[in-house]
Amino acid sequence: MEYKRIPVRPALAVYFICGTQDCPHDPLDTIETALRSGVTMFQLREKGQGSLTGDAKRIFAKKVQQLCKTYDIPFLVNDDIDLALELNADGIHIGQDDMDIVDARRLFPDKIIGLSVGNEEEYRQSNVALADYIGTGPVYPTISKDDASPATGTAGITCVRQLDATIPIVGIGGITAGNAADVIRAGADGVSVISAISHADNVSCAVKALREAVYGVLDK
């Protein structure tokens, strides 16, 4: 299967991943503030303890999708193929243990597909040519995923970048405004964050700090 990637690299700069379970405050307010403040891509990841299911998840997802449309930000769904198809989402993100990317690409021939690739072994066993971008990490220890692999440090980003000079890469896992620049310097095109935004006392300031850190390297 041949595939020409969607040019998503600029949208990876400040990539917000979030679900209701990640927000100590009102989730829709948190997400809208983040969108308004300058995140460049959004992924709905409604997973884990306390997350929504069924109709409640679907209703919430539609509200978030509408917010993303309002602010002209790509709206991706984590893993939930049926929901992504139902909503006609802009794309989907899948992990190593989710649907095979060949099958995903057949279902989403013209949508963004992100693939989690944590290390060299996963890179070599994955059909990354069908992915529009890969998410690499966890770079640092994270509290947002109960099943997260051990942190790789920025060396994990550098390793994958050396394997593939052209594929768009977004770093994930424990990233904050304080370490985001190091992730970009290591070879990532952007950073994806959950708690650095969703748990922030001031969401707008958190987004702006991430943007300053990321673009401070990208724009050089």
The model's pLDDT over 146-204, given as tens digits with 9 standing for 90+, comes to 666 789 999 999 999 999 999 999 999 999 999 999 999 999 999 999 999 999 999 99
Q: What are phi and psi of 94, to 5 degrees?
A: -125, 150
Q: Do the beta carbons of residue 37 and residue 28 sit within 8 Å?
A: no
Mean pLDDT, to the nearest integer, of 91-114? 97
Distances (CA, A) of 30 to 20, 62, 83, 163, 165: 10, 16, 22, 37, 35
Q: What does the pLDDT read at residue 147?
A: 62
The CATH number for 101's domain is 3.20.20.70
The stretch 91-118 carries a mean pLDDT of 96
Note if 45 is an active site residue.
yes
In a domain, 141, yes or no: yes
| Cβ count near 122 (within 10 Å) | 18
Whether 133 is covered by a domain: the verdict is yes
Q: Is 189 among the domain residues?
A: yes
Residue 57 is among the residues annotated as catalytic for this protein: no
Residue 183 is part of which domain span?
A: 9-218
- Work out how many domains the chain is built from and give that number: 1
User: CA dihedral defined by 176, 178, 183, 186, rounded to 10 degrees?
Assistant: -170
**Is residue 3 domain-resident?**
no
Exactly one of 36, 145, 161, 208 is catalytic; name it.
Answer: 145
Catalytic residue among 9, 37, 45, 105: 45
- Is the per-residue pLDDT at 102 higher than 70? yes
Catalytically annotated residue among 37, 116, 195, 198: 116
